[in-house]
Amino acid sequence: MTAKITENAPAEAYGPSDRRFPLRKREGFIPQVQRWSFQLPPDCMQMRVGFLAVQGLDDAALEQSAFFRWAQSALSHAAGPTTFDHARFTDAQGLRNHVIAAYWVDERRFERWRSDDVLQSWWASNERLHDKTGVWREILRVPRERQESIYWRDYPAGLMSSDEVAIYPTPYCGYYGAMRDRIPLAARDPLDAPDDFGLVEQTGRAGYGERWRITPPHNLAVIRSANTWGRMDEEQLADYEKNLRQPLDNGMAYLRESPLPTGCASLRMQRKFDTQGRPLPEEHALGHFLSLRHMEAWAENHATHAAIFTAAISRYKRYGTDNQLRTWHEVYVLPAGDQLFEYIHCGPETGLLRWFDGERVG
């Protein structure tokens, strides 16, 4: 399945005419490469994105977990996600994580899934506190006006893999500030973190043997940002490895290792896997920032992102329409309320467990 294609950008892509904050796009600017964004159905006022995961010492420990039996039922459920994908990564604690990214376009469908007692009771069971593996879930409520995306038309990924959405050529791409221009609410709202809100490391959270639900701050910004080398010939793959791979790795390492100066509370560099557990030629960063402004500060002001941007633009100029690199990202700016960040029997630095207010519920 893949998204329907709309050749022209819808009116909502341009935002309201009575903007409080001006567009960042310069008049007459033409992007080096035209990119595409998704449009939710007209009656969809919000979507759900769930990251459902198991955590263990190694791949062998993950494979023995009951999580995968639960996931099989959850994903094949009549009200299950419209599309999903798998990934794995090793976190800063040295723990292996398998993550399912799941999307629901229809809120009523999600509510039927969430209200299934059998599915939910698995997470609530005290057995989760004594398993050999931990589990965690981050289920996001994303209003229509609080998201943006950017894809290649010929490479379905993320929500673009769903036939419930359409994709269109975005009028805003290829320049610093395009991310904010693509978010409808940013025309009238700065989408900032609460006043004087910063990362404060929490104490007294062992993680293991505990169940925590964390309350993220208003306007937490979440990004999935991916690249794939699967379509590259030998020459372009060598160019990617020589000129772009290292800047990408350096940028992600800086964010992962510098939470306080960047406001990046969590950064996972994940390798995509298929449903049979085989690695695929795509990796993506899943990052959580205090606000969109914190994400922009790194993207627009830090040398590690400048190196990525410069290398990417150089590649587009070198190969033009023959460029075989495919990248995509989705950004969600979360409002407070009805956001589920739950960590069960996990390492104490997992996800947002390290930083924000929370409640121990087991």
How far does CA 304 lie from the centroid of its chain?
20
pLDDT at 54: 97
pLDDT at 239: 92
Residue 83 vs residues 47, 99, 101: alpha-carbon distances, Å:
12, 14, 8
Sign of the four-CA dihedral 1, 327, 231, 71: negative
Contact call for residues 315 and 239 (beta carbons, < 8 A): yes
314 token code pair: 């150089």
pLDDT at 277: 82
Q: What are phi and psi of 351, to 5 degrees?
A: 55, -125
How far does CA 361 lie from the centroid of its chain?
26
pLDDT at 97: 97
pLDDT at 127: 93
Which parts of the chain are beta strand (E)? 4-5, 36-39, 46-56, 83-90, 96-104, 134-143, 147-150, 166-169, 211-214, 220-228, 264-273, 279-289, 326-334, 340-344, 358-360
DSSP letters of 58-92?
SHHHHHTSTHHHHHHHHHHSTT--SEEEEEEEE-T
pLDDT at 1: 66
Residues 163-195 pLDDT 10s: 999 999 999 998 889 999 999 999 999 999 887
23 token code pair: 């567009």
Residue 24 and residue 13: Cα distance in Å, rounded?
14
**pLDDT under 70: residue ranges of the chain:** 1, 196
In single-letter form, the type of residue at position 181 comes to D
Residues 219-261 pLDDT 10s: 999 999 999 999 999 999 999 999 998 999 999 999 999 999 9
Contact call for residues 352 and 205 (beta carbons, < 8 A): no
pLDDT at 230: 92
